[in-house]
Structure 1
């Protein structure tokens, strides 16, 4: 059979061999932002056969932009050197293209890693002052963020730009700006977190102004032949929060600025959210953004089965799918999905012996093709 999921897609000068991406997943395994041996095995394993594109976890633009002390960063020469070691390895052994997600935690920063409770740091735990569009805490018991001044806005924008330039030197093929999941740029977009009365708050047009300025500045320094996308939370799942209409309007503006795709997720900006978790629960949002904004979309959210993924892209609801926990469960997800759908996918030379055509005792119906 033919498969749309396993057909190539071209974004600017980058052609991906299939429509599958490994979603960025925070690992809380860095040392002052610098990648460690954990990242070599984590990203290296996915690069062998989980997807055509592997996206490094949200990597922070500054020390105070981190969620926790263990978050990845790209704000120092040491961070850059450590990450280049990881990506050089992934490219040398794998078949996947490499992307990175760049972000700033804003008011969700200065916390313990989730494995240690995920709560705000206490005095004596090297806490830091968090930033936000407005002095509104993430939830009860969370610190009050400092409302960002004009100087803060410029500094953080410059930090995004610097991180993107470092990502190019590392050798990444694609950059994704994190504008979702309740982190800083999403905080500006959501009326639940942004209650400013200046040009960066109020109407949906004003709330999107800062994220658009950051994106435009990053796009200007990222090579023209390399794609840049953005992750968004399409809706907040809280009354009075961001609507899908707001997200479509944002997508139209991003397209005008040279955005190559929208990575559609939802929620995580407000603890009161009521999310109807189910396989593919973000797909209707991705379909609407693609249809009404006329921009390619990637969709994430409990997509684990090959035929589900095939239906999403074959029906035109999204152009790509992203898997996170599914890839952790099965780091060879693309191999197994290809076999289930009856198509071929790339294997790196060192793993070629595992190809079903070379194991007729296990796959008796496969014609030997190698």
Structure 2
């Protein structure tokens, strides 16, 4: 279901959003999607009936004005790993390589999928300000195999990197699958980025052996101050020859409803890919980002055999230390008697084959 009106907006997530407020950045109102009213679309904006509204501009300013406990990150924290993926992975094998933050290369069934690819130096609308990566992408762009499909979960800058999508469109011409409205954002940046936009619970066949279904999460969207929730956000259930995967991009935990819903409607899952970072301060982040303890509970709720962490260690978006997500995850796993090998953590450039 394509979007029918297009507009390129200034905007951001986390720190860059606050910068937009403080520096008076302007964004024009636009409608990225026009379609029928539903339980999560009122004709203008999207909402999660089981979620919470995004924080207000007043809350953003309050957060920025009270950041006495924020941890400092190193300017540079390189990973010792660099991945050179194979051209294809066939049969029932599954290879997943961690690019960094929320970006993965998934190879299975002879099909190559990038999830939320970000190769830019900053997760920001600017090249001179905003969250800056502290390590290189784990796969150099020139080392990528032929990319067949790109999945983009939502419009925040640390997930929808329009410059990277332009490079992929020029060099790989992949099929791009994204939730409603994000196709318009991409096309406004570069008409060569041709994306297909779908609603929650739509299933899309990617190959004879691989398919993806967009599923609800407890989150929100914006690339500016005037476009909140005018594009949809989603997680992905990916059917592969190696089993069914559940990829959660950004999500608050809430009461766990969305994770139990995914289990009941789409399980069982062989692997859940779960975010563990960008969670402090809790009063501000609770409704949009899980902390590691909640990620462990989400694993229990969705019932996956295995879990893989993401959303940590590359971009400083919030107030916790660079190593806090992994340390807190290990403590949460120990408390829940979950062995470390069941909830795996990779560094950029590392790969895991199931």
TM-score with structure 2 length normalisation? Answer: 0.36
Q: Which has the larger radius of gyration?
A: 1
Q: Which has the higher contact order (CA 8 A, sep 6+)?
A: 2
More helix by share: 1
